[in-house]
C-alpha cells in the first residue's frame, strides 16, 4: 500500500509585525501578561487587501518549488481555513487557478484551528486509497480580520500566516497515522456567531468577531490533547520515546508544555513558534513544521507528532515519518 510522504514544505507570513508593546497602546494589557500567560511576543498581521489566498498561494508555491513538483501534476488541493477569501468559490479553487493546477480537485476544510490537520488526514486517505498521487495541503488564515482590537481577552492571541506541504504517494513511510475528532457540544466556548444563513449580525449587533471563554477552552484543550497523543501513539504502534519532535498547535505555550510533559519530552524536542506567530489557527502547525524543516532541526527519517485543537471543538493529529 502507498504511504503519503511529505516531499517539501513552505510557508508565508505577512510583513507587518505587531509586538506586545504595540498592543499595550490599544488595550489595557502588558507585554508581561501576554508573555507569561501565552508565550506570545509578537504576531504578523496581513496588510489591507492581503488575503488568506495570497498567503496560501505563497506558501504553496514555495512547497511546490522545493518539491520539484509542477502545479499541473497535482491531483488535489485541500486547504484548511476558517477565514476564506470569499464565501465561495473555495480559497483552494482560487489558489488552484493562480498556481496553474486547473482541473484537479480543490476544496476547503473548515475545522477552525484543526483545519490543516483535517486537510492532511483527508489527503492521506486519498493517497492511501490510490485515488491521488500528488496532493497539496495548505493551512492558511487571516484571523486578525475577525479580531475585535478593543477586546484584550482575544486581540492579543491571534496572528496571520500560512503553511503548506506537498504529499506524494510512496512505498516509504510517510504519514503513519491520523486521528480526527470533533464535539459540537462545545460550540459556545469558542465561536464566531455570525454567518451566511444565521445572519451577519449577532444578537448584540456585533459584526464578525471571535468569542472565546479562554479559561474553559484551556482546560478542555489540555485534557483532550493528552488523550489525543495517546491515541496517536497507539494507532501508529509507537511509544513516547519513538517521537523525535512534537510539532503542536501554537495557541499557548502552557498548553504546549502540558502536552510535552504528557509525552515525557523535554522542550528542546518541541517546535515552538507561538512567540513569533501567535495563534494562526490552521496556519499554525504547517508554519511550525516549515520553520523546523528550514532550520535543519527536523531531518529525514525522524518521527513527528503533529496535533491541533480548536473551535468546534475540533481536535486532530498525525504521526509522520518525515
180-192 CB burial, b ≥16 within 10 A, e <16: bbbeeebeebbbb
283-305 CB burial, b ≥16 within 10 A, e <16: bbbbbbbbbbbeeeebeeeebbb
Q: Out of 107, 209, 218, 257, name the contact with ligand UT7 by CB under 6 A.
A: 218
137 forms beta bridges with: 78, 165
Nearest CA to 142 out of 317, 279, 18 is that of 279
- Give, for 268, the enclosing helix (H) or strand (E): none
Q: Out of 24, 153, 235, 275, name the contact with ligand UT7 by CB under 6 A.
A: 153
Q: Is the Cβ of residue 184 or residue 301 nearer to ligand UT7 in the bound state? A: 184
49-88 footprint of ligand UT7 as x/- string (CB under 6 A): ----------------------------------------
Q: Does 247 bind ligand UT7 (CB under 6 A)?
A: no
Q: Does 280 bind ligand UT7 (CB under 6 A)?
A: no
Q: Is the Cβ of residue 176 or residue 246 nearer to ligand UT7 in the bound state? A: 246
Q: Does 225 bind ligand UT7 (CB under 6 A)?
A: no
Q: Does 279 bind ligand UT7 (CB under 6 A)?
A: yes
Q: Does 38 bind ligand UT7 (CB under 6 A)?
A: yes
Enzyme catalytic residues: 113, 249, 279
CB of 251 vs ligand UT7, minimal distance in Å = 4
CB 153 within 8 A of CB 297: no
Q: Does 152 bind ligand UT7 (CB under 6 A)?
A: yes
Which residue do the cell numbers 465561495 mark?
88
Q: Is the Cβ of residue 29 or residue 170 nearer to ligand UT7 in the bound state? A: 29
Q: Out of 71, 90, 113, 135, name the contact with ligand UT7 by CB under 6 A.
A: 113
Q: Does 252 bind ligand UT7 (CB under 6 A)?
A: yes
CB of 239 vs ligand UT7, minimal distance in Å = 27
Q: Does 215 bind ligand UT7 (CB under 6 A)?
A: yes
Nearest CA to 235 out of 147, 168, 175, 170 is that of 175
Q: Is the Cβ of residue 173 or residue 214 nearer to ligand UT7 in the bound state? A: 214
Q: Does 251 bind ligand UT7 (CB under 6 A)?
A: yes
Q: Does 3 bind ligand UT7 (CB under 6 A)?
A: no
Read off the C-alpha cell for 121: 488526514
Q: Does 20 bind ligand UT7 (CB under 6 A)?
A: no
C-alpha span between 251 and 188 (Å, rounded): 18
CB of 29 vs ligand UT7, minimal distance in Å = 3
Q: Does 285 bind ligand UT7 (CB under 6 A)?
A: no
Q: Environment class of residue 100 by beta-carbon count within 10 Å: exposed (0-12), middle (13-18) or buried (19+)?
A: exposed
C-alpha span between 141 and 116 (Å, rounded): 10
**DSSP calls for 206-242:** --S--EE-HHHHHHHHHHHHHHHHHHHHHHHT--GGG
Q: Does 191 bind ligand UT7 (CB under 6 A)?
A: no
Nearest CA to 81 out of 37, 31, 143 is that of 143
Rule CB under 6 A: which residues touch ligand UT7?
A: 29, 33, 37-38, 113, 152-153, 156, 214-215, 217-218, 221, 251-252, 255, 279, 309-310
Amino acid at each position: 500500500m502507498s504511504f503519503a510522504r511529505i516531499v517539501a514544505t513552505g510557508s508565508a507570513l505577512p510583513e507587518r509585525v505587531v509586538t506586545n508593546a504595540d498592543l499595550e497602546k490599544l488595550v489595557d494589557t502588558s507585554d508581561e501578561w501576554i508573555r507569561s500567560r501565552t508565550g506570545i511576543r509578537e504576531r504578523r498581521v496581513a496588510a489591507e487587501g492581503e488575503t488568506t489566498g495570497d498567503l496560501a498561494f505563497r506558501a504553496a508555491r514555495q512547497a511546490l518549488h522545493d518539491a520539484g513538483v509542477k502545479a499541473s501534476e497535482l491531483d488535489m488541493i485541500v486547504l484548511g481555513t476558517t477565514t476564506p477569501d470569499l464565501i465561495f468559490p473555495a480559497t483552494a479553487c482560487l489558489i488552484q487557478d493562480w498556481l496553474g493546477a486547473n482541473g484537479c480537485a480543490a476544496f476547503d476544510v473548515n475545522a477552525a484551528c484543526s483545519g490543516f490537520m483535517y486537510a492532511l488526514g483527508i489527503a492521506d486517505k486519498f493517497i492511501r486509497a490510490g485515488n491521488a498521487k500528488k496532493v497539496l495541503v495548505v493551512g492558511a488564515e487571516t484571523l486578525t480580520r475577525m479580531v475585535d482590537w478593543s477586546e484584550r481577552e482575544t486581540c492579543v492571541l491571534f496572528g496571520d500566516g500560512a503553511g503548506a506541504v506537498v504529499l506524494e504517494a510512496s512505498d516509504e513511510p510517510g504519514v503513519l497515522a491520523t486521528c480526527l475528532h470533533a464535539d459540537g457540544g462545545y460550540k459556545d466556548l469558542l465561536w464566531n456567531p455570525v454567518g451566511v444563513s444565521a445572519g451577519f449580525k449577532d444578537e448584540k449587533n456585533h459584526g464578525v468577531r471571535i468569542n472565546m471563554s479562554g479559561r474553559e477552552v484551556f482546560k478542555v484543550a489540555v485534557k483532550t490533547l493528552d488523550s489525543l497523543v495517546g491515541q496517536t501513539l497507539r494507532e501508529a504502534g509507537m511509544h513516547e520515546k519513538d517521537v523525535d519532535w512534537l510539532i503542536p498547535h501554537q495557541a499557548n505555550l502552557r498548553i504546549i508544555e502540558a502536552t510535552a510533559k504528557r509525552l515525557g519530552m523535554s522542550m528542546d524536542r518541541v517546535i515552538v513558534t507561538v512567540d513569533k506567530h501567535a495563534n494562526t489557527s490552521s496556519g499554525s502547525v504547517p508554519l511550525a513544521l516549515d520553520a523546523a524543516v528550514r532550520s535543519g532541526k527536523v531531518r529525514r527519517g525522524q518521527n513527528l507528532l503533529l496535533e491541533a485543537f480548536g473551535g468546534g471543538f475540533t481536535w486532530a493529529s498525525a504521526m509522520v515519518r518525515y
